[in-house]
Amino acid sequence: MQIYKYPAANTWNNILQRPVMDTSALEQKVDAILRDVKNNGDAAVRKYAEQFDKLTAATFEVAPAAFEEAEAALEPALKAAIQQAAKNITTFHNAQQSTPEVIETMPGVQCWRKSVAIEKVGLYIPGGSAPLFSTILMLGIPAKIAGCKEIILCTPSLHPAILYTAKLVGISRVFTIGGVQAIGAMAYGTESVPQVYKIFGPGNQYVTCAKQLVNKDGLAIDMPAGPSEVAVLADDTCVPDFVAADLLSQAEHGPDSQVVLVTTSEKVINNVQAALDTQLALLPRKDIATGALANSRMILVDNLDTAMAMLNAYAPEHLILACNAASEVAAMVTNAGSVFIGNYTPESAGDYASGTNHTLPTNGYAKAYSGVSLDSFVKKITFQQITPDGLRHIGATIEAMAAAEGLDAHKQAVSVRLKQINNP
């Protein structure tokens, strides 16, 4: 990791630059695949499944018997862990439900807002080097709570934990399709895969690009997303071994990930670096983590206020506060996807089982975007109802404003009603 000591504020943007890649060539490749899937449906999906994922199944949809086989194959301890995580995630997301409240803005004028589920959603779970069954919990559970009528899942992985978790959360339609072709299939629909209204889920640079391109076509996606990242604020009250473990937990996601340590103590930098060296040597995904650490930073600052100003400017996906009075410091956070408070709150807890959602904005998008929640699976529709007396109260206001904007038909829509009300 690169080390910076007391950098001036005007250098922060350069120091905290995420890994950047030229996406122009990538977009051309991805767009060509998406167009092919849109125009040729299953035939195009099958072609790319064979080319990229070596999948040659006659049908994409997973048979019901496969879910039973997966459940039987999974060891009881892992099933129990998945069930516990599902319970916690369900509890947290259930609490996000709200009951519509009717507001009378003036006599006879009632307004309210109601959450209505997105009818058709598609979830994407990548294959890669790890079966991300935890993301099925994070996406499938709020989709079910929201009441989405149709939930489909695309993944190139048939790992038993993937199928078991899908069954646990109530997803029965799973398609063995990965990559850009999976995003295209869900976005445009094929003979086998139904079209959805919104796509959720992580993926590599190709999948991320595909989601952004179908978003330009008018299909909703969960959020712009890039490589995983974590930032840690640490002082002399931190446990260096804990901090190193947290940094490596994100560095092992991929070589394009980034981890950042901001501290008020040079001693912390030295101790965390030593702990990183020790732990990295024992890590099975050492090569991947090493690539990420090359993109990463340790930054020494004068004081806590400067540290928080820097971290809010960075807007990390995950922010760990391993410092004195961490709960009070948490009140200073304005830009972060999810915050982990104190030495005994590892980022891994949020990734798996504490209850919060791990689908979070990256690449600085936490300045304006929230992570996935129950709200991600619903639309908020406003309603209003006006009585004749209510229209008498509000009518003149509407007429005056419509006339001032030169929209006479808008005014007339009120005037014709008032005439009928006043002259029955």
358 annotated to a ligand binding site: no
228 annotated to a ligand binding site: yes
Name the token pair of 164. 């078991």
Residue 181 sits at φ, ψ, to 5 deg, of -65, -30
48 annotated to a ligand binding site: no
Instruction: Give the whole-angstrom CA distance, residue 350 versus residue 28.
Output: 36
253 annotated to a ligand binding site: yes
Of 229, 252, 317, 347, the catalytic one is 317
Of 93, 159, 318, 358, the catalytic one is 318
DSSP state string for 144-169: HHHT-SEEEEE-S---HHHHHHHHHH
405 annotated to a ligand binding site: yes
State the Cα angle at 76 between 74 and 81, rounded to 5°: 100
250 annotated to a ligand binding site: yes
Q: Is 358 in the active site?
A: no
351 annotated to a ligand binding site: yes
Region of residue 357 (phi > 0: left; psi between -120 and 50: alpha; otherwise: beta): beta
410 annotated to a ligand binding site: yes
Q: Say if residues 184 and 37 touch (Cβ distance below 8 Å).
A: yes
393 annotated to a ligand binding site: no
Instruction: Give the whole-angstrom CA distance, residue 345 versus residue 320.
Output: 8
Strand partners, 379: 116
Name the token pair of 186. 């869900």
Q: How many CB atoms lie within 10 A of CB 396?
A: 11
Of 172, 171, 196, which is closest to residue 184 (Cα–Cα)? 196
Q: Is 318 in the active site?
A: yes
204 annotated to a ligand binding site: yes
Residue pointed to by tokens 């790992």: 159
Three-class secondary structure of residue 369 per DSSP: coil
CA atoms within 13 A on the CB side of 268: 23
Binding residues for Zn(2+): 250, 253, 351, 410
Residues with catalytic function: 317-318
Binding residues for substrate: 228, 250, 253, 318, 351, 405, 410
Binding residues for NAD(+): 124, 181, 204
Binding residues: 124, 181, 204, 228, 250, 253, 318, 351, 405, 410
